[in-house]
Amino acid sequence: MKFTFKILAFFFIITIPLFFAAVVWQANRYNSVDKEISRLEKDQEQWINASKRLIAGGASYTSVERIEAAAKRMKLEKIPPENIIQVQIYQGK
């Protein structure tokens, strides 16, 4: 009886601190993952806002006059039709 009690006491003396250490380790991992998720959410929000600004900026180029004015401002040149190559891919049956 005494020997069994000593084994159980030794088991609890070892396992209880290990349990608390595991809880602290898991809490630390959770906090680091939570910080990483917050950082990624901020990055995602910045990407979404940048995308919205690009879409809104592109919407202003709906008329031919605005497109030509922007092309002149950016010093773009129109490609002649003979320099355009079209590739068509057909799917076999």
Residue 88 falls inside a structural domain: no
DSSP annotation of 1: -
Domain that holds residue 47: 2-76
| Helix (DSSP H) and strand (DSSP E) numbers for the chain | 2, 0
Residue 52 falls inside a structural domain: yes
Residue 59 falls inside a structural domain: yes
DSSP secondary structure, 59-88, as one string: HTT-SHHHHHHHHHHTT--PPPGGG-----
State the pTM of this model: 0.51
| pLDDT confidence bin for 66, thresholds 50/70/90 | confident
Asked whether the beta carbons of 70 and 61 are under 8 A apart, the reply is yes
Residue 92 falls inside a structural domain: no
Residue 86 falls inside a structural domain: no
Q: What's the domain count of the chain?
A: 1
Residue 28 falls inside a structural domain: yes
Residue 83 falls inside a structural domain: no
Tens digits of per-residue pLDDT, 12-45? 889 999 999 999 999 999 999 999 999 999 999 9
Residue 44 falls inside a structural domain: yes
